[in-house]
Structure 1
Amino acid sequence: MPKSRTRKKAVYTPPQKSQQVKVSPRWLAPVMVVSWIIGILWIAVYYIVPSAPGISTLNQWNLLVGFVFIIFGVILSTRWR
């Protein structure tokens, strides 16, 4: 049986990049979780006790404040490694 032809040109292999493991800062996870908890508690307190001092002055803006805390926690979670 005849011998098959071999490639004359070397196969391209991309250069190896050093894979450095990215580590998130130590403060990121606690701030992320605390932000979620504050947001959920803010909305819950608004619904349970709408006449509480400080909360009653914001009216419907309380939902926005709570969701801002929650969204901030979600944004931080995208940076967590």
Structure 2
Amino acid sequence: MPKSKVRKKTDYTINPASRTPVKIKAGPSPVWYVAIMLGFMLAGLAWLIVYYLAAEQIEWMANLNAWNFLIGFGLMVVGLVMTMKWR
């Protein structure tokens, strides 16, 4: 039976330039940013709760039908997207 060839592996070297730490200049987020972020998430939750509990009494909200879900979840998603910039 013929013997298979042994491949020579090249040594992997790490580029020293890519290992230098990067200093982040931005400090912590201001208090108003956190308040607005949480406000969006709570506003979306409140919108959905009001829609479920009182949609029959509020005519303009009842006329929106399924768009209420888009509005409520949209507000919550805006708050969640803001969390990506929060420090």
Q: TM-score, normalised by structure 2?
A: 0.67
Out of 38, 49, 52, which is 1:33 matched to?
38
Paired with 1:16 and 1:38, the residues of 2 have a C-alpha distance of: 40
Across the aligned residues of Structure 1 and Structure 2, the Cα RMSD in angstroms comes to 2.2
Alignment coverage as a number of residue pairs: 70
Out of 17, 21, 24, which is 2:29 matched to?
24
Q: Which residue of 2 aligns with 1:75?
A: 81
Q: What stretches of structure 1 move > 4 A for 4+ residues in a row?
A: 12-19
Q: TM-score, normalised by structure 1?
A: 0.71
Q: Which runs of 5+ in 1 are unaligned?
A: 1-11
Does 1:49 find its partner at 2:54? yes
